Amino acid sequence: MSNAGQRAGAACASVPVSGQIPALGPRLVFFTGGTALRDLSRQLTRYTHNSVHLITPFDSGGSSAALRRAFAMPAVGDIRNRLLALADSELVPQSVLEFCARRLPARGNAEALRADLRALGAREHPLWAAMPEIFSGALRLHLRFFLERMPRDFDPHLASLGNLLLAGGYLHHKRNFGPVLAFFSRLLQVRGVVLPIVGESLHLAAELDDGSRLVGQHRFKELTRPVRRLFLTVHEPERQGEAAAPQTPCRPPLASTAADYLRSAGAICYPMGSFYTSVLANLLPQGVGRTVAAASCPKIFIPNSGRDAELRGLSLAGQVAMLLRHLREDAPEARTHELLHWILVDSRHGRYEGGLGPDVRTALADMGVTLVERDMVREDDPQRHEPELTARALLDLLPGAQAER
């Protein structure tokens, strides 16, 4: 083993462990992505170190697009974001967390920025000086894994260093997320579990109500018509055009480890976040609907308050119908109570698409789901949930789970 490899191994073995707390607390499994759940994730670590975050790896915009073009790999940006949200900042130096969140400039000569990246691979680089060697050695090793494979024309603009480290580890381990996520979860003392919902490199697509199709998660910000259904495809967004061949939907299998966590869940949560790209995208792999239906635990939906550009007027009842429809594509015989029990809303401060009027309430009751009303949304900003209030409201729905008072 190289000296860098020995130091990385030492880092993994030497980082202090926060007692037995990670084994305690209810197992909350979230279908999630993006940043909407970041603050709630941090708050929940006060009550459990046993939360599981199943992440969409389908992002196709920004710096993730550069990595995906270079290596035909799943997106890692949302995975990195959640690892950092759950990292134990009392045990992990701030310099480590800041390094993993650091980005290269948006502008500048691409070759000069690539040269800056290569310089970072050297132990003598001043950026490592503020960091304990057990951490810096591990980060440099994974950066070198990336640099060894970096294409000569790689676009470095706005590249997240944390994304490059994860990509390097993923490629070094023969396109396997397991070892690199286990390593960084240990290194960052992550108080929970972070996993991609699938390991394949796929893209999110939608069929709109007029029959047209849209490919690429980043393009969901440009929705001009309501979505009829979502699907995954191997076709890349940049190859789209009027002359492009029809996109072939595919249903990759749910990652086996993710299935194990769903089976053992104390609760399954469809949380706030961009409705299609952060939540429903996680429901598309083969096996998700059946595994959810078979899990004997509460299933809870926390809809977005405020504006979600992806909804385009889709009411809360419409959102629930869409969620159930996509789950039933995998579990057609599943009854509603096997897929969803409660919808957690704030009728005082929340602002929900289409409102919470009598028609919506009747439609939800007819579908067999129950509204649970709690104060959770910021009174001065309906776009944001209060993390502490939301955590308590969620935990109060778990049988036997008591939030600390």
Confidence (pLDDT) at 118: 97
Residue 288 lies in a domain: no
DSSP notation for 345-382: E-TTT---TT-S-HHHHHHHHHHT-EEEE---EETTEE
What gap in Å lies between CA 105 and CA 356, rounded to an integer? 44
What gap in Å lies between CA 165 and CA 76, rounded to an integer? 10
Confidence (pLDDT) at 209: 93
Residue 235 lies in a domain: no
Contacts (Cβ under 8 Å, ≥6 apart) of 19: none
Confidence (pLDDT) at 237: 78
Element (H, E) at 220: none
Residues listed for the chain: 405
DSSP notation for 9-77: HHHHHHSPP-TTGGG-S--EEEEE-SSTTHHHHHHHTTT-S--EEEE-----SHHHHHHHHHH-----H
Other CB atoms within a 10 A radius of the CB of residue 72 amount to 11
DSSP 252: P
Confidence (pLDDT) at 238: 64
Count how many domains the chain has.
1
Confidence (pLDDT) at 63: 86
How do residues 364-376 score in pLDDT, each as one tens digit? 999 999 999 999 9
Residue 360 lies in a domain: no
Other CB atoms within a 10 A radius of the CB of residue 245 amount to 7
Confidence (pLDDT) at 235: 83
What gap in Å lies between CA 287 and CA 252, rounded to an integer? 9
Residue 353 lies in a domain: no
Domain that holds residue 109: 3-196
Confidence (pLDDT) at 236: 78
Residue 137 lies in a domain: yes
Residue 334 lies in a domain: no
What gap in Å lies between CA 365 and CA 160, rounded to an integer? 45
User: What's this model's pTM, rounded to 2 decimal places?
Assistant: 0.91
What gap in Å lies between CA 281 and CA 274, rounded to an integer? 10
The helix/strand/coil state of 300 is strand
The helix/strand/coil state of 151 is coil
DSSP 160: B
Residue 181 lies in a domain: yes
Q: In degrees to the nearest 10, what's the CA dihedral of 307, 310, 314, 317?
A: -90
What gap in Å lies between CA 279 and CA 30, rounded to an integer? 9
Q: Spell out the per-residue pLDDT of the chain, length 405, in tens.
A: 334 333 333 333 333 333 333 457 899 999 999 889 999 999 999 999 999 999 999 999 888 899 999 999 999 999 999 999 999 999 999 999 999 999 999 999 999 999 999 999 999 999 999 999 999 999 999 999 999 999 999 999 999 999 999 999 999 999 999 999 999 999 999 999 999 999 999 999 999 999 999 999 999 988 889 999 999 999 877 654 444 455 788 999 999 999 999 999 999 999 999 999 999 999 999 999 999 999 999 999 999 999 998 998 899 999 999 999 999 999 999 999 999 999 999 999 999 999 999 999 999 999 999 999 999 999 999 999 999 999 999 999 998 654 343
Is the Cβ–Cβ distance between 299 and 341 less than 8 Å?
A: yes
Residue 178 lies in a domain: yes
CB-side exposure of 271: number of CA atoms within 13 Å?
30
What gap in Å lies between CA 25 and CA 294, rounded to an integer? 22
